[in-house]
Structure 1
Amino acid sequence: MTARNNLTTAPIAATLLTFALPTLASSMLQSANGSLATVWVGQLIGPNAVAATTNGNLVMFLMTAFVFGFGMASTILVGQSFGRGDINAARRVVGTAIGTFAPVALTLAVLGWFLAPSVLSLLGTDAAITSLARDFLRVTFLALPAILMMTMLMMTLRGSGDAVTPLIFMIIAVVLDIVLNPVFILGLGPAPEMGIGGSAFAMAISNYIALGAMLFYIYARDLPLRLRGAELSYLKPDLSILALMLRKGLPMGIQMVVVSGSMLAVMRLVNRQGVDTTAAFGATQQLWTYVQMPAMALGAAVSAMAAQNIGAGRWDRVGRITRIGIIYNIILTGGLVALLVAGDRLAMQVFLGSDSPAVEIGRHIALLATWGFIPFGVTMVLFATIRANGQVIWPLMILFISMFPVRLGFAYGLQGMLGADAIWLSFPAGMVATLIMAVLLYRFGNWRQANDMQVEAAPPPEAQPSAAAFYTEAGPPGTPTGGRCLHHDEPARG
């Protein structure tokens, strides 16, 4: 099992970086794949088709956001189980996750095929592109089960300390998608000509192939999270584990909704500034997607690594993981910010063309706001550590405050004084506010303590462990739990 790092004993600095880099590469591949698929659609079909794909991509984002929170909960549960050395508990978590969301995803796929016209009507899709959007969205729903299961499996594998396997099969999915897009759009060779639906079909085929290959690989390599024999019964959801995943995963999923809602409100302000400003902001958003990737990857790595060390009772390492993650974020995100500011003209011209008046507007937006991703990166590490011990409500509340009262209050309230600059400055204002509150929570909050988990009596040896066994909201030595494993009456290892 060479793909898996020992996150509780290996050197922190080197391990954290090598664990984060494959996650970063996966994120970059996903974004690049989306961009290239859009290029295929635009070049082979036309601009109306590009507009039509926006609806399908929005639905896919919302569905992925839905599973993201539960995937993060599974990551933490698996990580803490691995930290305790309880592989069976980790397998039960994976079984419940897959057993729950596989039928949900299949149901959504079937319903989505029939309800696609209603969904488009709800989204207010322009009549000129409704037919194209319907063809694309229906096939996108068919791809949903593979995409959601791939996402869930990749997140649980990272919780076990394996960041390489998800990267391998993300590469397979992306390469297949890029190659198959023109094949099914144009009907090359024996493939049927499907037009815009061919782009979604290429996405579906590539993800199903990658999912099947990943499952084969997991069993062929006998990776720790595979289920065999009697363990296949774990696919029947354990209601106590599922309730725990819902309680922890739902707030993390809602965070995506909070951020999206804030962005929609900001877009109303941006659209009032005229077409050039809207185009400039759109180009800036594309660039910001890449600027924030190191923070997202390091946050995922810190969460998995901290969860395993909390499960093992290694609180001395948890603080060092957080500090090193912050340093890496400042270096990597700060470097990308500096690179973007230095090459802002060229970067904007890639998206807007060399003669567009939107280029200078985009440069101005980037100069005012892009530096905010440095405090954003630090916040991601702090939140990742806090969530690794089960505290998900306070990060959600902090994000809500910083996205709405702070960001929107700044953007709307100061527009009379600052003009459009109030919109751009509201981004770093919200990010700095989030950082300040995250630091206060990390330093003075009770996230290290056991809070909403009730420790049940240890079961007899022949019984299955209670739900409390799957989540250790344990404190460091000196706190009420004394760094002890919650499902055994013995000191935590480490």
Structure 2
Amino acid sequence: MKKRIIQLAFPIFIESALVMVDGLIHIIWVGQLLGGTAVATVGACFPIILAMSAVANGAARVTSTPMLRRFQAKKKRDDAVQKQMNVSWSFAIFTVMFVTVGVYLTAPWVLTILGTPEGIMEMATGYLRIMALGFTIMYFSFLITSLLRDVGYTFARMLFIAIATAGNLVLVPMWITGMGPFPKLGLYGAVFASFIVSVLAIIVSLGYLLRHYKGLLMRPTQLRWDRNILASLLPLSMPVFIQQFLLALGYTCIIIFVNPFGSDATAAFYVISRIDSIVALPAMAVMIAMTILMKQSVQGKKLKKIKSLFRWGLLINFPFTFLIALSCFLFPDWMIKIFVTNPSIVAIGVDYLQIISFGYLLFTLLYACNGIINGAGKGGVTLVFSLSSLIVIRVPVAAILTQMGFKVTGVWFAVLASFIALAACSWFYYLSGVWKKKWEVKEMKVQGTMPT
């Protein structure tokens, strides 16, 4: 069981790590070359960008589904699938236009609602509007990666990520500082450089798909709207949309309490949220592997393996998570200074890591439990737990503690409280065994009708 978990988790971890490195390179350049104000600007816009990513990824999934269906059926012409393609592209065009115009026009209003500090409001508005104008690029990036994932070609998907990572590593600092022939555009230059890199990666990947997967890239023959066809496609996009939208919601539930303490607090929270993602990455990879193995156990009625699966999920996760948590506790200033060196931002980030660091160990338990629960087909339960930890624990605790005078430290304790509550809910649900009741009923029916 240990070997199977590692075999499945390792490629998932590598791919996710490459994607994360791409994002980290961008913010490290911004922090080291432009300082805390620029990092705070990105952090203030981040929940909206996460929401935009959720929409783009969901819309891309709607568009890629008809392509994959025809490709798998190996048909040159399929009128039913072509109708789906026409509707999906119509939906995509409408979504891109709606999000682009909507975010561009409402940027200052949304940032004001989030309590964005006055000192970075103008820069944040400009940054968010540029991101809105690049929403089409974001959509096509998700569409290409979705297609590459669907056809199962790992190398091509890695190539797409590698191009983006290498491009950001080289071009972002050039556009920020005005190196060589490039204009000096500061923070906005970082965005433009990322757009250029993404477009190059899209072009290379499109060429690869056209060469190796002929017939996969379907074109719309007309734009049309069919409510029934769209209703059949939208549910396929919901899992990825909900997963990413929850990330945006979780970030929003904190940033609205952090922003009132100034741009340094905003910058610190953005940096530590990136560190949170790094800590969670190994555990999430193991969770996905456990989910796959759990589904196989259910389908094969090998339910006795579940305890072993859970135990090995914990044992594999714990050493990695413990080492990262220990590093965050012992060297918190070093961890923050990777991204930004402003002393006041570093001090706020250090405060967070020393409070949260050993709470990271809860990720081991949380994701092991969720791997079993999701694999059992009860993903809706983990969704309810996540929403409840935000709405019932994180927001009220943050509101109470900040009003009691704990300032931004109160927000950090609210994050820890929500981690504890979420892990406890998943663990108690796993121990209850409620998630396997339907299997027991099915086994009884089989035994009753097919005696041995």
**TM above 0.5:** yes
Which of 311, 315, 321 does residue 333 from structure 1 map onto? 321
Partner of residue 15 from structure 2, selected from 23, 26, 40? 23
CA distance in 2, matches of 1:215, 1:433: 45
Question: Do the aligned residues in 2 keep the contact of 1:307 with 1:388 (CA within 8 Å)?
Answer: yes
Given that 1:41 and 1:196 are in contact with CA atoms closer than 8 Å, whether structure 2 keeps it comes out as no
- Measured in 2, the distance between the counterparts of 1:56 and 1:289 equals 17
CA distance in 2, matches of 1:344, 1:363: 5
Q: 1:288 pairs with 276, 279, 292, which one?
A: 276
Distance in 2 of aligned mates of 1:38 and 1:323: 41
Report how far residue 42 of structure 1 moved: 1.4
Change (3 A) 1:191 1:12: same
Evaluate the alpha carbon distance shift between residue 190 and residue 396 of structure 1 in structure 2; reply closer, same or farther with a 3 A threshold: same
Alignment partner of 2:332 out of 322, 328, 344: 344
Query: Could you say which residue in structure 2 is the equivalent of 1:122?
Result: 110
Is 1:256 aligned to 2:243, yes or no? no
Cα offset for 1:119?
A: 1.7
Q: How far apart, in 1, do the equivalents of 2:181 and 2:142 lie?
A: 31
**In the alignment, what sits opposite 2:449?**
none
Is the 8 Å Cα contact of residues 60 and 92 (structure 2) preserved in structure 1?
A: no
- Structure 1, unaligned runs of 5 or more: 1-8, 451-474, 483-494
SS at match of 1:227: coil
Could you tell me whether the CA contact under 8 Å between 1:105 and 1:148 is conserved in 2?
Answer: no
SS at match of 2:334: helix
Q: 1:370, 1:351 → 2: CA distance?
A: 18
Correspondence for 2:384 among 381, 388, 397? 397
Deviations 1:204-256 (A, max 9, x none): 12112212222333444449xx72689999x9994353243266556445523
Bigger share in helix: 2
Q: Does 1:407 align with 2:394?
A: yes
2:24 maps to: 32
Query: Is the Cα–Cα contact under 8 Å of residues 59 and 139 in structure 2 kept in the other structure?
Result: no
Residue 405 (structure 1) shift: 2.2
Per the alignment, in what secondary structure is the counterpart of residue 478 of structure 1? helix
Distance of 2:310 and 2:86 partners within structure 1? 30
Call closer, same or farther: CA 1:432–1:480 in 2, change over 3 Å: farther
Show the counterpart of 2:139.
148
Amino acid at match of 1:380: Y
Q: Give the counterpart of 1:205 among 181, 190, 196.
A: 196
CA shift at 1:412, angstroms?
5.0
Structure 1 segment 158-237 matched on structure 2, within 5 A: 158=149, 163-185=154-176, 196-222=187-213, 227=216
- Indicate which of 356, 364, 369 corresponds to 1:382: 369
User: Aligned residue for 2:230?
Assistant: 239
The equivalent of 1:6 in structure 2 is: none
Contact kept? 1:291, 1:337, Cα under 8 Å: yes
SS in structure 2 opposite 1:294? helix
Q: Which amino acid aligns with 1:103?
A: I
Change (3 A) 1:104 1:166: farther
* TM, length-normalised to structure 1: 0.67
Native 8 Å contact 1:20 1:163 kept in 2: no
Contact 1:186–1:194 (8 Å) recurs in 2: yes
Offset at 1:150?
Answer: 2.5
Residue 435 of structure 1, CA deviation: 1.7
Q: State the SS of the aligned residue for 1:292.
A: helix
Matched residue type, 1:478: K
In the TM superposition, what is the alpha-carbon distance from 1:129 to its structure 2 partner? 5.9
Determine the C-alpha separation between the residues in 2 that align with 1:280 and 1:252.
Answer: 24
The residue aligned with 1:464 is: none
1:27–1:293 contact (8 Å) kept in structure 2? no
CA contact (8 A) 1:330 1:377 kept: yes
Which residue of structure 2 lines up, in the alignment, with residue 435 of structure 1? 423
Alignment partner of 2:358 out of 352, 357, 371: 371
For 2:101, give the aligned amino acid.
Answer: L
* CA-CA distance at 1:193 after TM superposition: 6.3
Residue from 60, 63, 69 that aligns with 2:52: 63
- Which amino acid is 1:26 matched to? L
Gaps of 5+ in 2: 447-452
Q: Give the whole-Å Cα distance in 1 for the aligned partners of 2:46 and 2:317.
A: 29
For 1:468, the equivalent position in structure 2 comes to: none
Displacement, 1:126?
7.0
**CA spacing shift, 1:349–1:180, aligned 2, 3 Å:** closer
